[in-house]
Chain A
Amino acid sequence: MTDLPVGVKRRQFDGVSRLATRGAPVYGEPTDGEWRVWDAGRSKLGATVEAGLDTGLVGGDRVLYLGAASGTTVSHVADFAGPTYAVEFAPRPARDLVEVAERRPRLFPLLKDARRPETYAHIVESDLDAVIQDVATRDQAEVALRNQRFLARDGRLILAIKARSEDVTAAPGDVFEDVLDSLREGYEVLETVRLDPTHDSHLAVVARPR
């Protein structure tokens, strides 16, 4: 069992042991004092941690999060990590993301396209500990490769691959192999795990720059 990052704990909620972080609640999740449930059913990173993958996250990490949407997962990341840059390109979910960021002084929201890292390299710092990616569009490997420039040599890419975003007709297993192959152009894949059935046809990947 890998250790949870400092700032993430297992706690009992209604008699069930669940992941939790400390911070202002965001999406109606159960709370207990200052702790709030990190719902693995709504967060692929939550499910990845729950599955026991060694993400390399230790707490206090410097993070770039790609595909922040309305901030469900990145709010938990900002609760336990250090400076956290959150990229999302759709203005509507960004509306909620700003509210989440407003209450987290080390969460920096950016309305940017993750396929164009040069448009935020003047804001996001270098040598980050982790790039977390959940963009659910085509070319997920390409997005990860382009954003490698932000990672420290010993940093980690933590990626959720959605099979159906790449190809709806192919078997998920084949799609994952293709994406992993492309990813290996710039990364060494350390560990993978299927997130089914919590997140259908999703593969979680931990990799480090080559």
Chain B
Amino acid sequence: MTDGAARFGWFESVPPDGLEGARDVIENESTELPEDWPTRAVESDFAADESDYYNKLHSATTATMRAAVREAGRADDRQLTHSVRAIDDAERVANEVAERAVEWGESLFEDLPAGLTGARAMADREPTSSAEERAISLARRAAGLADEADALRAHVERTAPSVAPNLAEMAGPVLAARLIALAGGLESLAKKPSGTVQVIGAEDALFAHLAGRAPSPKHGVIYTHEAVRGTRLEDRGSAARALAGKLSIAARVDHYAGDLRPSIHEDLRDRVVSIRARADDEAAGESAEGGE
């Protein structure tokens, strides 16, 4: 087979006697296309025969899953919290530094696009003076930090579903992680009433309201969710309430049970559809009234 060399079997770097390192390979390696692994494993002396291969595969896969679920039961929500806070910091600082670098760069080079785009354009230049060297180096730091933010985001997207499958499915992995971080962990999110979940991230606005300085906030970080943003202004409060209610249920299922529950996602979609139908009903009512 011509592309045989490109395919990598899990057993190829694992010692057949103790299977050390098998978990790392099973969890983190990848290959595009499968192969007749049992035959390849026997050919490469990893296993004596097919049955021996399957016995080894069985102990490697069960041990891996056992270890993974044990770890998932531990403080993975804390890892998620660090990761999502790191995204925010990295993005904020990348933007600040990019702005500074671009402002500097415009005094040295021609006009540059604003922000990170400008910093990336600068980063590709070769400096011809020591001032340029510093400005370009600064731009490269900004670009590097933005890359780090992207990598962190990808990491959150990959890990959030295993920490909180329903929250991640409902809110998207990054918003799910943000809710967990703001609540101080999955358990405390699961224990909050849905009215609190609705305003998580809007604490400043909430304090202003309690001090009599502002109307009560209708929604916190969950306003970025499509269910709220995609609903017309006068129905956003209802949408946020419905979403917060389902998010609380999702957090509870994730904390206490941990399986993906399709029904709660269907319920949310149902609710959003009926809230949005109000706008259609009114539109239909008006055109019926104005019809004659």
- Chain B residues within 8 Å of A90, by CB: 161-162, 165, 258-260
Is residue B105 contacting chain A, with contact meaning CB distance below 8 A? no
Closest chain B residue to A162, Cβ basis: B262
Residues B34 and A126 in contact, CB atoms below 8 Å apart: yes
- Chain A residues within 8 Å of B273, by CB: 168-169
Closest chain A residue to B76, Cβ basis: A91
- A89-B34 contact in complex given A109-B61, A122-B10, C-beta closer than 8 Å: no
8 Å CB contact of A125 from B31, B36, B162: B36
Say how far A118's CB is from chain B's closest CB, in angstroms.
Answer: 5
8 Å CB contact of B260 from A122, A123, A137, A169: A137
8 Å CB contact of A91 from B58, B62, B162, B270: B162
Q: Which of B67-75, B80-88, B131-139 faces chain A?
A: B67-75
How far is A178 from B87 in the complex, measured between Cα atoms in Å?
38
Residues B10 and A108 in contact, CB atoms below 8 Å apart: no
- Chain B residues within 8 Å of A106, by CB: 54, 58
Is residue A98 contacting chain B, with contact meaning CB distance below 8 A? yes
Q: Is the interface of B mostly helix, strand, loop or mixed?
A: helix
Is residue B104 contacting chain A, with contact meaning CB distance below 8 A? no
Residues B69 and A126 in contact, CB atoms below 8 Å apart: no
Chain A residue total in the interface (Cβ 8 A)? 40
Is residue A119 contacting chain B, with contact meaning CB distance below 8 A? yes
Say how far A190's CB is from chain B's closest CB, in angstroms.
Answer: 23
Residues B258 and A91 in contact, CB atoms below 8 Å apart: yes
Say how far B254's CB is from chain A's closest CB, in angstroms.
Answer: 8
- CB under 8 Å from chain B, chain A span 94-121: 94-95, 97-98, 101-102, 105-111, 113, 118-119, 121
- Chain B residues within 8 Å of A83, by CB: 54
- A121-B34 contact in complex given A89-B161, A91-B258, A168-B266, C-beta closer than 8 Å: yes
- Chain B residues within 8 Å of A122, by CB: 7-10, 25, 29-31, 34, 37
Is residue A198 contacting chain B, with contact meaning CB distance below 8 A? no
Closest chain B residue to A150, Cβ basis: B34
8 Å CB contact of A105 from B55, B257, B270: B55
Say how far B56's CB is from chain A's closest CB, in angstroms.
Answer: 11
Q: List 13 A-B contacts (CB under 8 A).
A: A91-B69, A91-B162, A94-B68, A101-B65, A106-B54, A110-B65, A111-B69, A123-B10, A125-B37, A127-B36, A137-B169, A149-B34, A168-B269
| B-binding residues in A (CB < 8 A) | 69-70, 83, 89-95, 97-98, 101-102, 105-111, 113, 118-119, 121-127, 136-137, 149-150, 162, 164-165, 168-169
| A-binding residues in B (CB < 8 A) | 7-10, 25-27, 29-38, 54-55, 57-58, 61-62, 64-66, 68-69, 72-73, 161-162, 165, 169, 257-260, 262, 266, 269-270, 273
Extra contacts, 8 of them, besides A118-B32, A122-B7 (Cβ < 8 A), are A89-B165, A97-B65, A110-B65, A123-B61, A124-B37, A126-B37, A149-B34, A168-B266
Would you list the 9 A-B pairs with minimal beta carbon distance, nearest first? Answer: A92-B258, A91-B72, A126-B34, A122-B31, A108-B61, A121-B34, A93-B259, A125-B37, A90-B165
